Structure 1
Amino acid sequence: MVWLPPVLIPMSQVAPVTQGPADVPDALFWALAGPTAAGWLLTYVLAIRQAFTDRRVGIPAYLVAVNFAWEFSLTFVLEQTPTQRQINVLWVMFNAVLLYQALRYGPRDYPGLTPRLFRWSFAGVLLWAAVMVVVGANEFHDRDGMYTGMIIQVPLSASFLLLLKRRGSSTGQSMQLAVAKLVGSLFAGLTAFVVYPSHHLLQVLVPTYVALDIAYVVLLRRTMRREGRPLWAWRAPAAVPGASAGAGPAEAGADAAEAGAGRAQEHRSPVR
């Protein structure tokens, strides 16, 4: 096909994915990987706390399934580096609590689904994600979960924006949670840049999800301002405009009943 114009970018002679990690000093690696682990651990703790406070998931339910599948599969199923496995073991324990919360509170964000249908679809996403993580990590020879982790980060970050829009309020969310996620994700991306400087796919994925995380922080801040909720408050206002947006009558009634019970408990005890 000599009549075609020359290509703008020739194919790489050596596939970047076949190039191993760079020789990074331990001090530099842990200066980036440390905040990554701490940021995500704090994200999980804050999400768990917020869900028990507001009775709404702190992390979008179906993405909890995907995240749990990633951590469980790369801890107990597929070979990984010892360092990454140790970090994953810690994360998977917290994600087990998030999994419970997703099954308990998650249906409230999907009023069009019956609880039974939600549970089956949730299990399906969990199983499919686990298979994809194992196959994908093996395909890329991703021994530290870098590729699969960064790919998952994009829909995870986008799902927070969709959650905020679907609920129409800051219920189940907090600025602390949003900032912790941004910090953990940002340092994970910086770790990827340093360890795999020749892996160009990561150089596209990381700015994408970081931009989504920043957008989420900005939009959550606007939402909380509109509600009159202090930016660093743990609990959403008792009556939030649009808090029941997307929820059916049964879900809205359950929310009101639980909120009433919570206020009654507060009046009975001066200690929170």
Structure 2
Amino acid sequence: MTWLPPFLFPLSHVPPVTVGAADVPDWLFALVAGPTVVGWIVTYVLAIRQAARDGRVGIPAFLIAVDFAWEFSLTFLLEQTPQQRQINFLWVLFDAVLLYQALRLGPRDYPHLSPRLVRWALAGVLVWASVIVMVGANEFHDDDGMYTGMFIQVPLSASFILMLKRRGSSAGQSMYIAVAKAVGSLFAGLTAFAVHPDHHLLQVLVPTYVALDIAYLVLLHRAMRAEGRRPWAFRTPRAGAPGASAPRVRVPQVTEVTEAPQSDDATP
């Protein structure tokens, strides 16, 4: 007999990870998976465009390496469902451009480090993440990338907030990137709920990164307003450019005071 009180929650008799995917109708899968694919493609395209305009990566550099590792590994290296491999292949094409931008522009976010060191660190993260994704997917028998994908989503969403804070400006970022990313991630979570309703870990991870996405939207909107940028203008001068509008500062009016003329009888 143990002196500890009885536990409150017993382990599942059947490990949820061993429960197979639900039989989801094709129309329902298309309804939730379609916006996931489109949302992330739009995110990638807008991030590439913004990085070209601002000279700063639109997605945190080290998470680009992780994202590329996930998509490349689950497309070309590890067994996955045919449908998921086709989706991943589309994403990896755009992510390859983002990875090139990360290697070229990423060091600007780490001025205290040499560009060479940052690029080697990015390469190291890419290799490490590829191994983790493959081992993790094999460990969970994650043949559609749900577990590994949801694990990546949480630090990815948090990294956008950290990127905004580290830069101290909205350079390389836009509300449209943030919205497209939030929509793609939200529907990825809904896809996970539909396909794996018994996988309770996913039911914790998804609300976590959705909350982080909402927080980033609010913080980015405030930052752009403070900089004098119009958050929802698609064509605006890049952050910090000479043509960008500056925050409005109210300058108090100064009333000129003149001395009253002194009379000849005034005491000096």
Give the TM-score taking structure 2 as reference length.
Answer: 0.88
Query: What is the CA-CA distance between 1:234 and the residue it aligns to?
Result: 4.1
Alignment correspondent of 1:176: 176
Would the alpha carbon gap of residues 229 and 3 (structure 1) be closer, same or farther in structure 2, given more than 3 Å must change?
A: same
Alignment correspondent of 1:127: 127
Q: Deviations over 1:39-81 (max 9, x none)?
A: 0010000100000010100000000000000000000000000
How many matched pairs? 244
Alignment correspondent of 1:255: none
- The answer as to whether partners of 2:16 and 2:199 remain within 8 angstroms in 1 is yes
Q: Deviations over 1:158-178 (max 9, x none)?
A: 000000001111110000000
Letter of the 2:115 counterpart: P
Structure 1 CA distance, aligned partners of 2:239 and 2:176? 21
Is residue 75 of structure 1 aligned with residue 89 of structure 2?
Answer: no
CA RMSD of aligned residues (A): 1.5
Letter of the 2:37 counterpart: A
Is residue 232 of structure 1 aligned with residue 238 of structure 2?
Answer: no
Would the alpha carbon gap of residues 74 and 228 (structure 1) be closer, same or farther in structure 2, given more than 3 Å must change?
A: same
Gaps of 5+ in 1: 241-258, 264-272
Would the alpha carbon gap of residues 238 and 55 (structure 1) be closer, same or farther in structure 2, given more than 3 Å must change?
A: closer
Point out 4+ residue stretches in structure 1 off by more than 6 angstroms. none
Letter of the 2:113 counterpart: L
Structure 1 CA distance, aligned partners of 2:81 and 2:238? 47
Structure 2 CA distance, aligned partners of 1:20 and 1:223? 44
Query: What is the CA-CA distance between 1:228 and the residue it aligns to?
Result: 1.2
Structure 2 CA distance, aligned partners of 1:57 and 1:116? 17
Q: Deviations over 1:244-271 (max 9, x none)?
A: xxxxxxxxxxxxxxx57x99xxxxxxxx
- The answer as to whether partners of 2:50 and 2:172 remain within 8 angstroms in 1 is yes
Q: Which has the higher helix share?
A: 1
Identity %: 75
Gaps of 5+ in 2: 245-268
Instruction: Kindly name which structure, 1 or 2, has the bigger radius of gyration based on alpha carbons.
Output: 2
Residue 45 of structure 1 aligns to a residue whose secondary structure is: helix
Alignment correspondent of 1:216: 216
Letter of the 1:42 counterpart: V
Structure 2 CA distance, aligned partners of 1:232 and 1:77? 40
Structure 1 CA distance, aligned partners of 2:43 and 2:2? 55
Structure 2 CA distance, aligned partners of 1:161 and 1:236? 22
